Amino acid sequence: MNTPKLPIIVFALLGLSIIAFQYTQNAKLKKELKDQSSKEIGSSGEGSLTLAGTGKGVSKSSSDSNKESVPKKDSKNLSIVISSVNEILSDPDPLKRIERLMAYVNKLSPDEMPDALVALQESAPDWDPHMKMAVGLLLTRWASADSDAAFSYVEQMKNKDQARDATFSILRALASQDPQRALEWMSNQGSDMAKNGWMGHMLAGTIATEWVRRDPDAALAWANSLPENQRHGALGGALETIAASDPNEAARRLLELDAGDAREKAAGSIANLWAKRDPQEAMEWAMTLEGDDRESAMSRALGGWASTEPAEAAAFINDIPAEERTDSQIREVGRRWSEQEPSKAAEWLVNQPDTKGRTDAVGHAVWHWTNEDPSAAADWLLQQPQGEFRDNGVGALAKATFDSDPASAVTWAATIDNDRQREGAIERGVREWAKREPAQARNWVQENSNVLSPKQSERLLNIDSGSDREK
């Protein structure tokens, strides 16, 4: 597989005298901006909102406020702030880099935070863990100082992904200090977000995760009263937080809740965390539950166990009578084991009952195995009887092989027994191959027309001309 190349940012190191001068000028300019901002706040009058750090009063009812999605910034000041952040992020020592970022953010006043936020987000790629840490710390401090200003600023950010992440950071900090205000925000300003399925799930979970540290009784009572989707997020977040430090307490709290899907999922989350610490205790607890709670807890406990001791978790399943082993139990252990020892996981799956969980897990195992040792994975697949189990393995091998050898990948896809699955795998493979090597892809279609339907063969022969149409 080709590994994505991460961008490398190289910054020129500044001389000590230049750095000293830069910091002096930066401090002076920040003071001037702060004084100017104070003057403008005093003269803005009632019914106006001054966005921190911008020095620009924005009337809530002014039509001018609708003309710009983000308030104008002092480009000179922003340039200086970005330069300062760049200098910190270029420190070659990661520990010093963290210390300097934390010190930098901790010294910021609320009116300096908007420029600092932009500087952090523009001075490093989104995946940079140190940038993310500093942004989270900055937003937490901003929310503690003035959550209304922080939310107002984030609402105007153009990058929607960054705005969403920032919203969660602010809400988390607010919920840790004043849960009722966090609830008010979710019911009012955040109501549209909360109506979205997964967003409502995440918002409720964010509040409950922080609230439960302060008042578990109130947090769990609120979580249990929510609509179904939000209840899943809130109960999961609250009980996982408790389980991280005291799984027995989380287990006790679980049984106080109303039965249903949300409690079932929460039981699984508790069991999964517990099993990573003490798998035997987690399994013993899971087997005391009943119905769907029991199955969710057992399968997730086995998954948590398999993440650290996969052979032991597999041995536990082997001791369960074959007719009593479930899809989810086999899937959880098979997938977790595949991430560590795919060849052993695949061999174990061969001897499990013929279930959907077994079939799903073998695709995971073969994909990982192909990335480690494609020849061994291919030899093993050739020994498997035709059927859904082998088909899923072949499909996974084809996906894992495509980057390095598209011809082999498509040829493997052509051996899938299930007609619909085979046609879909070939279609995807040839189309992607044709983007890189259209002549070779076309030749393969012509030479293998016996495994294609006439319509599919015609479509694939025309993909380079742009004249094909999905039927």
Please tell me the distance from the alpha carbon of residue 343 to that of residue 392, in angstroms, as a whole number: 15
pLDDT at 151: 94
Please give the helix or strand (H or E) that residue 394 lies within, else none. helix 388-401
Higher-pLDDT residue of 56, 287: 287
Could you tell me the pLDDT band of residue 78, with boundaries at 50, 70 and 90?
confident
Mean pLDDT of 388-400: 95
pLDDT at 15: 33
Higher-pLDDT residue of 462, 430: 430
Contacts of 111 (CB under 8 A, 6+ apart): 33, 34, 37, 52, 53
Q: What is the mean pLDDT of the chain?
A: 83
- 357 pLDDT higher than 60: yes
Please tell me the distance from the alpha carbon of residue 368 to that of residue 388, in angstroms, as a whole number: 19
Lowest mean pLDDT among 46-55, 283-292, 369-378, 419-428: 46-55
- 9 pLDDT higher than 90: no
| Token pair of 100 as six digits | 């300097």
Could you tell me the pLDDT band of residue 54, with boundaries at 50, 70 and 90?
very low
3 state DSSP class of 415: coil
pLDDT at 53: 32
- 58 pLDDT higher than 90: no
Please tell me the distance from the alpha carbon of residue 412 to that of residue 381, in angstroms, as a whole number: 10
First to last CA, the chain: 32
Mean pLDDT of 69-91: 73
- 51 pLDDT higher than 90: no
pLDDT at 89: 87
Per-residue pLDDT tens digits for 197-212: 889 999 999 999 999 9
pLDDT at 196: 83
Mean pLDDT of 452-464: 86
- 350 pLDDT higher than 70: yes
Per-residue pLDDT tens digits for 213-234: 999 999 999 999 999 889 999 9
Higher-pLDDT residue of 22, 304: 304
pLDDT at 25: 39
Burial environment of residue 163 by CB neighbours within 10 A (0 to 12, 13 to 18, 19 or more): middle
Please tell me the distance from the alpha carbon of residue 357 to that of residue 376, in angstroms, as a whole number: 23
Could you tell me the pLDDT band of residue 84, with boundaries at 50, 70 and 90?
confident
Mean pLDDT of 90-116: 91
pLDDT at 76: 61
pLDDT at 43: 35
- 333 pLDDT higher than 90: yes
What percent of the chain has pLDDT above 70? Answer: 82
pLDDT at 74: 55
pTM confidence score:
0.69
Higher-pLDDT residue of 468, 401: 401
Could you tell me the pLDDT band of residue 471, with boundaries at 50, 70 and 90?
very low
The DSSP annotation for 89-152 comes to HT-S-HHHHHHHHHHHHHT--GGGHHHHHHHHHHSS-TT-HHHHHHHHHHHHHHHHHHHHHHHH
Query: Backbone dihedral region of 49: left (phi > 0), alpha (psi from -120 to 50 degrees) or beta?
Result: beta
Mean pLDDT of 56-70: 34
- By C-alpha distance, which of 56, 39, 57 is closest to 47? 57
Lowest mean pLDDT among 85-89, 283-287, 318-322: 85-89
- By C-alpha distance, which of 70, 52, 48, 65 is closest to 163? 70
Higher-pLDDT residue of 466, 158: 158
Could you tell me the pLDDT band of residue 75, with boundaries at 50, 70 and 90?
low
pLDDT at 464: 59
pLDDT at 34: 41
